Structure 1
């Protein structure tokens, strides 16, 4: 396993990339509403990426034997966890939309995802969104040098499954990011304390709890990308790029929030 420890110069580059990435999310958010298509949102984001002088590295990306990914972003609705393809279908009241995309600027890449309620959603959807975001902050606090990936994964799984009765997605995991779109180590949202690679200052991780309402095996649809937990289920996703420092974790995307953690 080759884990890239970033130099101070690289961290400076990734900090700038993350700031621009966060600003692009802020730019698209006012447009997220019923009646707007995910293709329209994808194009707003692509224009913002180009205006910032960056690149959309997902366009043309291949994973294994898959067909090239066609879009700048993943737009995943309701039971689709990740890798949903933007389309012309208008968003509908009550749906959950996950927007997830990588952003490259001056050779360095960050990764970020959010889940949005389209209009008024059900109480169970609201709860799913809240617990998924809170799970990120539960794990974030444990991204400390000297701890192991399994410590973080086990804490997220305990919070989501034992405390809240929801389901951590098994088939998709977080990962290192920076010089490449996907680097070592893998960062799952389930596992055992004391297992996995040790966290070290200079590691940059895409940490991303992905949570479903009900236990399910994720399935990839015929397009080779769309990953679903099945009709009638719901999924939420919350992701930031995080830098491990001597004094603890630092966000490279998003912003630190005082999120009340439900126990």
Structure 2
């Protein structure tokens, strides 16, 4: 596990914030009729204009700048030309390299009207992210984060917590140690020290935890076809309270100002 200096954490905050600013650009314009390829183009252009590099593009052969996962797609969805429609939920996951450091986080948007069950899934998944972040303090263990997320989603609401995909360390590399599962036992796993930077990212299914990967080798979908929600923050472990490097507040402000997006779960 690589622990960063204060100066390096400050640079990582710039990277994480650029991801947040890019997702804010999506929140401003997202609406039914748009395609996920258009989302990819918006993000790629914004990142390039800010003298950064899209982390995901060509990463292990991934052919796009962002992952756009709609409805029953859990993560790693390929942008495509299918128009989005009212009632879709869309996770946009992306990373940038700025000044040599990665930022990487995700946000799930709701287009128009959805069922109360979907609203609850989005709300609870977002809540679980912050439950996990609360445990990202020095001398706690990775299992404490994992347990907090699982407790809030699976044990309280009966949702499926994806096992095959996990959060991770972040830094000069997009994926560093340790892995950060969204399920587990308190007191288990590596002990966290100050200035460890993590990408914490609950991936929560309305139904079964079971998933499968499509023939493209990337797109992960729920086995039962029910929706999945994904939120992700970049977080620095500190002594008393975790420091969140990414910024949802600017995304949420744009989301609330966009009449095509549903924020009634707030």
Same fold, TM-score > 0.5, yes or no: yes
Cα distance change, pair 170–116 in 1 and its aligned pair in 2 (3 A): same
Look up the SS of the partner of 1:248 in the other structure.
Answer: coil
Give the whole-Å Cα distance in 2 for the aligned partners of 1:110 and 1:215.
Answer: 30
Residue 45 of structure 1: CA displacement?
Answer: 0.5
Instruction: Judge conservation of contact 1:31–1:41 (CA < 8 Å) in 2.
Output: no
Correspondent of 1:20 among 18, 23, 36: 18
Q: Alpha carbon RMSD of aligned pairs, Å? A: 1.5
1:35-66: CA deviation from partner (whole Å, max 9, x where unpaired): 0000001100100000111000211111xxxx
Normalised TM-score (structure 2): 0.91
Residue 107 in 1 paired to residue 100 in 2? yes
Alignment partner, residue 65 of structure 1: none
Give the whole-Å Cα distance in 2 for the aligned partners of 1:202 and 1:106.
Answer: 18
Normalised TM-score (structure 1): 0.92
Give the whole-Å Cα distance in 2 for the aligned partners of 1:207 and 1:256.
Answer: 17
Alignment partner, residue 69 of structure 1: 62
Q: Any gaps of 5 or more consecutive residues in structure 2?
A: 251-264
Alignment partner, residue 6 of structure 1: 4
Which structure shows the bigger proportion of residues in helix conformation? 2
Correspondent of 2:89 among 86, 96, 102: 96
Residue 140 of structure 1: CA displacement?
Answer: 1.1
1:116-145: CA deviation from partner (whole Å, max 9, x where unpaired): 111111211111100000001111111111
Residue 255 of structure 1: CA displacement?
Answer: 4.0
Residue 153 in 1 paired to residue 146 in 2? yes
Give the whole-Å Cα distance in 2 for the aligned partners of 1:245 and 1:21.
Answer: 22
Query: Counterparts in 2 of 1:119-198, with a 5 A limit?
Result: 119-198=112-191
Instruction: Judge conservation of contact 2:237–2:243 (CA < 8 Å) in 1.
Output: yes
Alignment partner, residue 28 of structure 2: 30
Correspondent of 2:78 among 70, 85, 90: 85
Alignment partner, residue 54 of structure 1: 52
Give the whole-Å Cα distance in 2 for the aligned partners of 1:256 and 1:117.
Answer: 17
Give the whole-Å Cα distance in 2 for the aligned partners of 1:53 and 1:254.
Answer: 20
Residue 207 in 1 paired to residue 197 in 2? no
Instruction: Return 161-170 or 124-133, whichever deviates more.
Output: 161-170
Q: Any gaps of 5 or more consecutive residues in structure 1?
A: 63-67
Q: How many residues align?
A: 251
Residue 166 of structure 1: CA displacement?
Answer: 1.0
Cα distance change, pair 255–232 in 1 and its aligned pair in 2 (3 A): closer
Give the whole-Å Cα distance in 1 for the aligned partners of 2:116 and 2:238.
Answer: 38
Give the whole-Å Cα distance in 1 for the aligned partners of 2:140 and 2:240.
Answer: 12
